[in-house]
Amino acid sequence: MATLFSMSISAHHRLPFLLCWLSSGCAPEDDTLDWDGQFEDSEACFHREIPEATGEPAVAGTTSHANPDERSFCSPSKGPELRYLWTPDESRAYRIHTGGSEFDTVLYVYEGCHERRIACNDDHQNLQSQVIVEATAFNQYIIVVDGYETLDRGAFRLTIQ
């Protein structure tokens, strides 16, 4: 199942990749850009995995095709959201933010799927969100990028520093 999914994504990615090179100035992207909004695995509680804690941004994606299923625990979050699995490789404080996103974001973090609420923020800088998380190496965290209102959706950047 996962293999088939990967193959169809790579076929769809050739044209955007070419256009990106022709237009220059391409940001890193994840494969939500032409994604149909379904979980990769129906058993999973996340849409995508962030392999490394570093990178600026760690993810540049879009919530345009996601579903507005989840409510944050600190503010309205009526827009569609994406859930990312993050497994840091170092125990320390991380600054996680959505600076550079194109809509009013809400950001929240769980330890485990829904097991423990760690951090939540709506507006830190203008309408973008930021949380500071004291993370433990090799623990699994779920980072949710959500939109404040129903129409708050689209391109976002998720940075972990």
- Residue 102 makes contact with Ca ion by CB under 5 A: no
CA 13, CA 62: separation in Å to the nearest integer?
Answer: 15
Q: For residue 92, give the H/E element and its range.
A: strand 92-97
Q: Which stretch of DSSP H or E encloses residue 50?
A: strand 48-50
Stretch that binds Ca ion, among 1-9, 38-46, 78-86, 127-135 (CB under 5 A): 127-135
Q: Which stretch binds Ca ion (CB under 5 A): 6-14, 46-54, 88-96, 145-153?
A: 145-153
Q: Which is nearer to Ca ion, 9 or 127 (CB)?
A: 127
Stretch that binds Ca ion, among 1-9, 28-36, 79-87, 143-151 (CB under 5 A): 143-151
Subset of residues 58 to 87 that bind Ca ion, contact rule: CB under 5 A: none
CB of 67: closest distance to Ca ion in angstroms?
19
* CA–CA distance, 146 with 153 (Å, rounded to integer): 8
Which residue from 61, 136, 54, 64 is spatially nearest to 98, judged by alpha carbons? 61
Rounded to an integer, what distance in angstroms lies between the CA atom of residue 94 and that of residue 71?
A: 23
Task: Pick between residue 53 and residue 144 the one whose CB is nearest to Ca ion.
Answer: 144
Distance of closest approach, residue 97 Cβ to Ca ion, in angstroms: 11
